[in-house]
Chains A and B, each alone.
Chain A
Amino acid sequence: MKRWLLWVPLVLFVAATAVAIYALRQPQDRLIRSRMVGQPLPAFDLPALVPGKPGLSSRDFTTGKPKLLNVMASWCVPCIAEAPQLMRLRQAGVEVDAIAIRDTPEDAQTFLTRNGDPYLRMGSDTKSAVQLALGSSGVPETFVVDGHGKIVGQHIGDIHDDDVEALLAALARAR
């Protein structure tokens, strides 16, 4: 046997170790991105939750105007944190609709009174069914939907101050 062949296992071992060390040092990414981005919104029709605010159906997203679809809940703490940013988006003329996950009318109303109400519509998803159909894995998440009912973007987690510009840009691109 050729002498150099003896070194092959060691070289393979070192290469595998190097790959493992490199991969372990990469920052961990636990976000689960929805594969529905680029797809049409799944058909849904959710009833209203709070008085005076209509429910939400997938047909509300074919008006020709891009919108934000905010997946939220009154029991979700980061949803409180993103409320001011959603209000700013609303003041900038953005239409924001909500899907409230596993919520009660009283809790939702208290949440809106306390943290501001940027929503035109709010659908009640008591079994997370539409959330699962959207490929969303938590609250809050915000989907950018173009005027023809196609999902063009997803923001996972609460909207920070510096995410507002990016969302406005995504909405402008969707136009």
Chain B
Amino acid sequence: MKGMLLITALLLAPVAALADSNLPPAHYAYVQLPDPKQEAAAKALMAELRCLVCQGQSIADSDAELAGDMRALVRERIARGETPKQIRAWLIQRYGDYVTYDPPFDAATAPLWIAPLVLLGAGIWLARRSFKRRRKAA
């Protein structure tokens, strides 16, 4: 019986695997800005910034404490009058393009944008050639 009680107590004990601080979240981590226009701008930016501890999520999606602190940073800076572009640039300066889900056009990302155009062009060229030949044959 004593053993059962101990096991029950252990099962009910909170799991300590996730290390979190004892401080409450930053004010603007879960509170919207009073100005709806500013809040919309902040929301749009937060959806495009990567959570640095959860890596597959945006900071808008994540409950990690660092993501909360990043949301607070975005909202505070928007409220201060900074543009989303400036805030994104500030973060890229620190974490590289990895931090944004909307990476800039540069040598590394150029193939992603250009390849579809090249493939489309090649497809049109191929199609035109084969249609021409068929017409000649007919």
Residue of A nearest to B72 (CB): A127
Interface magnitude class on chain A:
20 to 34
Q: Do residues B52 and A137 form an inter-chain contact, with CB atoms below 8 A?
A: yes
A99 to chain B, nearest CB (A): 13
B102 to chain A, nearest CB (A): 18
The answer to whether A134 and B94 touch across the interface, beta carbons within 8 angstroms, is: yes
Q: Does A43 contact B (CB under 8 A)?
A: no
Contact with A along B18-47 (1 / 0, CB 8 A): 011111001000000000000000000000
| Total B residues in contact with A, Cβ cutoff 8 Å | 23
Q: Which residue, of A34, A104, A134, A137, has the highest number of chain B Cβ atoms within 10 A?
A: A137
**Which residues of A sit under 8 angstroms from B69, Cβ to Cβ?**
102, 127-129, 131-132
The interface residues of chain B lying within 8 Å CB-to-CB of A75 are 19-22
* CB atoms of B95 and A137 under 8 A apart: yes
Contacts of B23 in A (CB 8 A): 102-104, 126
| B19 CB contacts on chain A under 8 angstroms | 75-77
Contact A107 B22 (CB under 8 A): yes
**B79 proximity list for chain A (CB < 8 A):** none
Q: Is B109 an interface residue (CB 8 A)?
A: no
* A138 interface hit (Cβ, 8 Å): yes
14 examples of A-B residue contacts, CB within 8 angstroms: A73-B21, A75-B21, A75-B22, A102-B22, A104-B23, A127-B72, A127-B73, A128-B65, A128-B69, A128-B70, A129-B73, A137-B53, A137-B95, A138-B52
Residue numbers of A with Cβ under 8 A of B are 1, 30, 32-36, 73, 75-77, 101-104, 107, 126-129, 131-135, 137-138
